[in-house]
Structure 1
Amino acid sequence: MSSSAAPTVEDELVHEFGPLLRVYKSGRIERPLMLPPVEPGLDPSTGVESKDVDLGVYSARLYLPPAAATAGAKLPVIFYTHGGGFVAESAKSPNYHRFLNDLTSACPALGVSVDYRLAPEHPLPAAYDDCLAALGWVLSAADPWISAHGDLARVFIAGDSAGGNICHHIAIQPDVARLKGAVLIHPWFWGSEAVGEETRDPAGHARGAGLWMFACPGTSGADDPRMNPMALDAPGLETLACEKVMVCTAEGDFLRWRGRAYSEALTAARGSAGEQEVELLETEGEGHVFYLFKPDCDKTKEMLDRIVAFVNAA
């Protein structure tokens, strides 16, 4: 007859945030959704070549589409920041690797996907700092792929969920270089007051910022301007360092209303003509970051086509 050892105090679960993160009293950390990383190299489906560049405490995965070899001019640069609530996921995830291959091939564009440090081992602002430093590295054209093939007058920042939040944080910095555009996909913003059809239940609404409070222990709360760009003390949205912005939301995403409110506030602050363009894409019948898990569905293709058009518009 077999028996198993009784659980110890060290096995006690002290923090759990859905499937993203579990932290035990012993200090053990689990990230159930994270898949084994994939290696860079030639993608047979798209012909995109990728490589990893070690940049110290963080790294970047670069993507070079086959068009780079034949294009008569340099390609736009898409600087991508992955999601995962600041506590999970990676640029080396098979889902993100597939998406970057597809996106850079379709544009075509040179891609840079940042593998920034994660909380709780590295609490915020570590992720923000890494991504800002990585953008500076891109703009320095220190890598031969970037110097040979990247058009640094056409740099787009893009990201999903927490990565969308990072994109806003980058673009709102007063000293960041002027960017051609930003694509925020299902961005993770929140606030103390509900917007749209968000829950009005105080306890339920407060849970929307629980992971943020954990990942950023020095935060002032849900209305920290890094989490709520529409907070009273947040920098004015008219200062966003982008010629144009695209915001993507999904009908089944609890962040939908926050993304829509951000788009509306940005439009009001910047105007909607010429270089002040703000575009909103709302996907019906899908949930948060659906395109990562359903890369071949029609709605993913529609979203990809819209992003490609946004990048390639004059």
Structure 2
Amino acid sequence: MESEIASEFPPFCRIYKDGRVERLMGTETIPASLDPTHDVVSKDFIYSPDLNLSVRLFLPHKSTKLTAGEKLPLLIYIHGGAWIIESPFSPIYHNYLTEVTKSANCLAVSVQYRRAPEDPVPASYEDAWSAIQWIFSHSNGSGPVDWINNHADFDKVFLAGDSAGGNISHHMAMKAGEEKNLDLKLKGIGVVHPAFWGTDPVDEYDVQDKETRIGIADVWEKIVSPNSVNGTDDPLFNVNGSGSDFSGLGCEKVLVAVAGKDVFVRQGLAYAAKLEKCEWKGTVEVVEEEDEGHVFHLEKPNSDKALRFLKKFVEFIID
């Protein structure tokens, strides 16, 4: 007999009184394949045996025939999904990283992390950092995965993510800048439709509707990070908060992508503006699609605007 529902947070999940979690979307998976699809091969590797967490690697098929010494840009990708749904194995991310890998002629590593509510924040951040360190353990060519040893150019490492993954990517770049004792260098980060928020609107154009703001706060405070002392003003979520300092961001350039109909649009623009004004020495590029919504490029990947953004994202990696 099915247990009673304790709480529901559509469209993400339903929690039952016996503790069971039912995800309402983002549960479909697609296997990796060594048969080239769109001239790209993929393979999964466990990076955290203790937690049974994996990365999915994407490699241009022609790169399996590269001569010794030829390297490719390395893209580390953190998926979105409100810290609750989706994975590197979801069709939406598998297909997107396949296309990016082909178009940019890069090696892509898509990171799995523990998700809320079973594993609330900061588990996802801890896992992302662990995966990044694991990837960089290949920088001397003696890591456990030949694809990374043989093909990754560690002078051209890019970190990117969308939504929650965009948020995590920012924090990983901050940590990379703080960890001076680690030989961990990021060329750039792509912060795509980032899930940044706060108790109060970031400006007069930010979301004013109380129901919307309460709804986002409920997801963060009741599912994603129930232990946050400051609720939505937790520095992990309120990235643009008054106490934030981006001057130590550990990369040379940042691509900030926003969508005009996305609830996070003003937060993303405020983030870019704050980066430009702080003492960080890198460069910021903003890409805005005014008439589109959150992660439109994933939901409508063949649309003209999605293909235009793909071109911009690829240029960010290869330029």
Normalising by structure 1, we get a TM-score of 0.90
Match for residue 197 of structure 2 among 180, 190, 195: 190
Q: Which residue of 2 aligns with 1:294?
A: 300
- The residue identity in structure 1 corresponding to 2:7 is H
**Percent identity, aligned pairs only?**
40
Match for residue 245 of structure 1 among 219, 236, 254: 254
In the aligned structure 1, how far is the partner of 2:253 from the partner of 2:298? 24
In the aligned structure 2, how far is the partner of 1:299 from the partner of 1:109? 22
**1:65-91 deviation per Cα after TM superposition (whole angstroms, max 9, x unaligned):** 134234773001000000111111110
SS at match of 1:80: strand
Q: Which residue of 1 aligns with 2:286?
A: 280
Q: Is the 8 A contact 1:250 1:284 kept in 2?
A: yes
Q: Is the 8 A contact 1:248 1:259 kept in 2?
A: yes
Q: Which runs of 5+ in 1 are unaligned?
A: none
Q: Which residue of 1 aligns with 2:19?
A: 27
Q: Is the 8 A contact 1:60 1:113 kept in 2?
A: yes
- The residue identity in structure 1 corresponding to 2:316 is F
In the aligned structure 2, how far is the partner of 1:138 from the partner of 1:221? 32
Q: Which residue of 1 aligns with 2:217?
A: 209
CA RMSD of aligned residues (A): 1.9
- The residue identity in structure 2 corresponding to 1:78 is L
- The residue identity in structure 2 corresponding to 1:60 is V
- The residue identity in structure 1 corresponding to 2:285 is E
Match for residue 7 of structure 2 among 15, 37, 52: 15
In the aligned structure 2, how far is the partner of 1:148 from the partner of 1:192? 47
1:54: Cα distance to partner?
Answer: 1.4
Q: Which residue of 2 aligns with 1:147?
A: 149
Normalising by structure 2, we get a TM-score of 0.89
In the aligned structure 1, how far is the partner of 2:211 from the partner of 2:290? 28
**1:153-202 deviation per Cα after TM superposition (whole angstroms, max 9, x unaligned):** 11100001000011011011111623100001111000122024223344
In the aligned structure 1, how far is the partner of 2:197 from the partner of 2:275? 15
1:228 aligns with 2:230: no
Match for residue 50 of structure 1 among 28, 42, 49: 42
In the aligned structure 1, how far is the partner of 2:188 from the partner of 2:33? 28
Match for residue 269 of structure 2 among 251, 255, 260: 260
Q: Equivalent residues in 2 for 1:49-68 (5 A)? A: 49-55=41-47, 56=49, 57=51, 58-68=53-63
Q: Which residue of 1 aligns with 2:32?
A: 40
Give the 3 Å change call, closer, same or farther, for CA 221–131 of structure 1 in structure 2: same
**Aligned length, in residue pairs:** 301
Q: Which residue of 2 aligns with 1:168?
A: 170
- The residue identity in structure 2 corresponding to 1:11 is E
Q: Which residue of 2 aligns with 1:310?
A: 316
- The residue identity in structure 2 corresponding to 1:22 is R
Q: Which residue of 2 aligns with 1:115?
A: 112
